Chains A and B, each alone.
Chain A
Amino acid sequence: MRAYEDLVRLHQQLAFRTAFVLAGSAADAEEAVQDAFVKAWRALERFRPGAPFRPWLLAIVANEARTRRRAATRRRGWTERAAWDAHAAGDDVGPSAEVAVLDRERRALLLDAVERLPERDRTAIELRYLLDLSEDEMAAALGCRRGTVKSRLSRALARLRAQIGEAL
C-alpha cells in the first residue's frame, strides 16, 4: 500500500491535469483521478510488467474524466483563469519591462487562440504541449491510434496558426 501511495504521489499531478483538460472542471477532475487510481489499484494484476505505466494509467484517468464531462458546463478559459489567478499575473518577468509586456501579450494571444479552438483540437494541443504527453500517451488518453494522434495534432496546429494569423 505504501508503495502504491508513492506511485500515486508521483503521478497525481499529471493525472489530475489530464483529467482537468478532459473533464473541464477541477472538481470533476479530482473525482475522476480518485476513481481512476482506485480502479488502477484493483487492475494492477492485469498490468503487464515491463510495460510503460503512464499510458496505462492515463487511459484509465481519461476514461473516468470523459464520463464526468458535463456538456452544459463551459470550462473557464485559460485567459480567464490567468486573470483570476493572481499568481499567474506575476509569471512573466522578462529582461526588461518592455519585453515582459510583449511576452505577456503574446502569451495571452496564444492562450486565447487555444481556448477558441474546437474541443478536439484544443484537447490535442493541451495534452501534447501544455502537458508534454508523448504521442503514445496521447493515444492512450484519447483512445485512438498513434496515427490519428499525429493527424489531429497537425490539424489543430494548422487551425491555431490560422487563428493567430487572423489576430495579428
Chain B
Amino acid sequence: MSLEHELSALSVPWPATPDVAATIADRLGAAPAARSRNRRPWLRPALASLVALAIAAAAVPPVRAAIERLIGVAGGERIERVEHVPQGTRLDLGAAVTLAQARRRAGFAVATPARLGAPDGVRLGGDLNGRAVSLLYGRDTVLTEIPHASAMLAAKQIGPQVRLRFVDVSGVPGIWIARGPRALVFSGTGSTRTVRRSALPGAGVLLWDRDGIAFRLETRRPFADALAIARSMPTGP
C-alpha cells in the first residue's frame, strides 16, 4: 500500500464536533435587528416576546432603540450593546451562609459544577434577588443561580468593543460576555433605576438558563475554562 493510501486510511481521534448548527441558528436569530431585519423569520421565544411588547408599544422611539440594541436574553438578563456603559457600585452578592442554609432558604436544589466541586464560600440574596445563591471559588470565579420565578429581568449593558460568544451549554444556548465595560441595570418604578458593576472586576460572564434556573458564571479564567465549568453542571432532574 502506498504512503498516500495509508494516510487516507488512517483513523485519527478527532475531537467531537460540536453542534454548531443549533448555536448558529440562535446567534443569527438574536442578531441585532438593524443587520438582520429582513432575514429573520423566527426568534427565540424570550426574544420574540420582547419584540412583541415593543410592537404593542407602537414602537415608541425609546422602545425601538432598546430593541435595536438588544443582543439576546440569557441568565435572567437581557443583553444590550450601548455606546456608554453607566457607572455603578459593585454588585452585592448578599450574606455569607453555608451551602445547606442557602438550599433551604432559597428553596431550590442549588447545583455545583463537577469541575469545581464544593465552593469556598456561599452568599445568599443581595442585589440580584432574595433567592439568588452565589457560589464562590477562590478569588476568580462566582457562579450565581436564581430561580426564574423570582428573577427580575435586568439589563446587562455592554460597551461597543466587548466581545461576545454564543455557545452551547450542554444543549441549551448561552452567551459569553468577555471582560470589558459592562453594567447591570435594574429598572424600578417610573424612571428610577439601579446600576451595578461586576462583583469581580476584570471577569467575563457566561449566562444561560436550564430547568427554570438562571445561571451567571463570572470568572477571570479564559473562555474555554468558563465553558468547561458550565458544561460540568448536572443536567438531569
In the assembly, what is the distance between CA of A25 and CA of B225, in Å? 13
Number of A-B contacts (CB under 8 A): 100
A62-105: which residues lie under 8 A (CB-CB) from chain B? 78, 81-82, 84-85, 87-88, 91-92
The segment out of A27-35, A134-142, A143-151 that lies at the interface is A27-35
In the assembly, what is the distance between CA of A84 and CA of B12, in Å? 12
- Interface size for A (C-beta < 8 A) is 46
In the assembly, what is the distance between CA of A43 and CA of B3, in Å? 39
Q: Which residues of B contact A78 (CB under 8 A)?
A: 12-13
Q: Do residues A85 and B224 form an inter-chain contact, with CB atoms below 8 A?
A: no
In the assembly, what is the distance between CA of A26 and CA of B228, in Å? 12
Q: Do residues B24 and A37 form an inter-chain contact, with CB atoms below 8 A?
A: yes
Q: Which of B3, B17, B40, B166 contacts A13 (CB 8 A)?
A: B17
Given contacts A27-B224, A34-B165, contact A107 B10 (CB under 8 A): yes
A46 CB-CB contact with B under 8 Å: no
Closest chain-A Cβ to B3's Cβ sits at a distance in Å of: 6
* Residue of B10, B23, B42, B224 with most chain A CB atoms under a 10 A cut-off: B10
In the assembly, what is the distance between CA of A74 and CA of B178, in Å? 24
Task: Kindly supply a per-residue 1/0 record for chain A positions 10-41, scoring 1 wherever the CB is within 8 Å of any chain B CB and 0 otherwise.
Answer: 00110111001000011101110110011001
Task: Kindly supply a per-residue 1/0 record for chain B positions 1-37, scoring 1 wherever the CB is within 8 Å of any chain A CB and 0 otherwise.
Answer: 0011011101111111111111111011101000100
Q: Do residues A12 and B11 form an inter-chain contact, with CB atoms below 8 A?
A: no
Supply 5 further A-B pairs (C-beta < 8 A) apart from A1-B40, A8-B21: A13-B17, A30-B20, A33-B18, A37-B20, A132-B8
Which residues does B use to contact A, with CB under 8 Å? Answer: 3-4, 6-8, 10-25, 27-29, 31, 35, 39-42, 165-166, 223-224, 227
